[in-house]
Amino acid sequence: MSVKIAVLASGSGSNLQALIDAQKKEALAGAQIVLVLSDRKDAYALTRAKEQGISTRVLSPGDFSSKGAWEAALRTALLEAEADWILLAGFLRILSGAFIDHFAGRIVNIHPSLLPRYGGEGYYGLRVHRAVLENREEESGASVHFVVEGCDEGPVILQKTVKVEPGDTPETLQKRVLEVEHEIYPEAVRRLVKGLV
Ligand code: GRF
């Protein structure tokens, strides 16, 4: 029986696309993306999933009476999908410790910096790259890591460095880091599925 993956995404889903492409090339060690779940009904990630015939779900926090009720629905959806791994790919919700404990060691995230630098609440999107440039760093990069209760604090699985170039703007740096994200997320998943991590 193949390993089942659920991807949680709020936005464009380019990392989801990289995972789908890897799955097609049999570069995910036989794992199958069985569910793409979003907190936003307009997330382009959902369109990408539908194009591939992958099941989708939308759980908007606004439709629930509390964060706990929303997380309970999320948990049920993941259990119903029998997800072995839960991959956060641009998922903009912070999950509670209780939720994370339920899937302990099976939730993974990708972050656009060399963690532990430029991680934690407030470091998302262009803010990460702006901070890297403001601090005149010579390098940045991307990290795939396990999810623990502290935001972006879990053990790193795989990282790759990107050199900061003279004249970089947050946007140009973001673009090069994103290319690296698309390389390392599928590779990290392949290693996880094969039990190499
Ligand atoms: C990526 O930069 C990822 O590291 C961060 O959110 C962004 C999502 O991009 N967590 P996409 O939706 O996969 O295109």
Q: What is the pLDDT of residues 88-111, one digit of tens each?
A: 999 999 999 999 999 999 999 999
Evaluate: CB of 46 within 6 angstroms of ligand 1: no
- pLDDT of the residue at 146: 98
Tens of pLDDT, residue by residue over 140-193, are: 999 999 999 999 999 999 999 999 999 999 999 999 999 999 999 999 999 999
Q: How far is CA 131 from CA 76, 121, 122, 128, in A?
A: 38, 13, 11, 5
CA of 70 to the centre of ligand 1 (A): 22
Tell me the mean pLDDT in the region 128-149.
98
Evaluate: CB of 36 within 6 angstroms of ligand 1: no
Q: How far is CA 137 from CA 173, 175, 176, 178, in A?
A: 12, 17, 15, 18
State the pTM of this model: 0.97
Q: Which two tokens stand for residue 1?
A: 């029986």
Confidence of residue 132 (pLDDT cuts 50, 70, 90): very high
- pLDDT of the residue at 119: 97
Confidence of residue 38 (pLDDT cuts 50, 70, 90): very high
C-alpha–C-alpha distance, residues 48 and 18, integer Å? 11
* Residue whose CA is at the smallest distance from ligand 1 atom 6: 90
CA of 119 to the centre of ligand 1 (A): 14
- pLDDT of the residue at 57: 98
- Identify the three-state secondary structure at position 146: strand
Q: How far is CA 148 from CA 32, 65, 90, 101, in A?
A: 24, 25, 16, 8
Q: Which two tokens stand for residue 131?
A: 């901070």
Evaluate: CB of 112 within 6 angstroms of ligand 1: yes
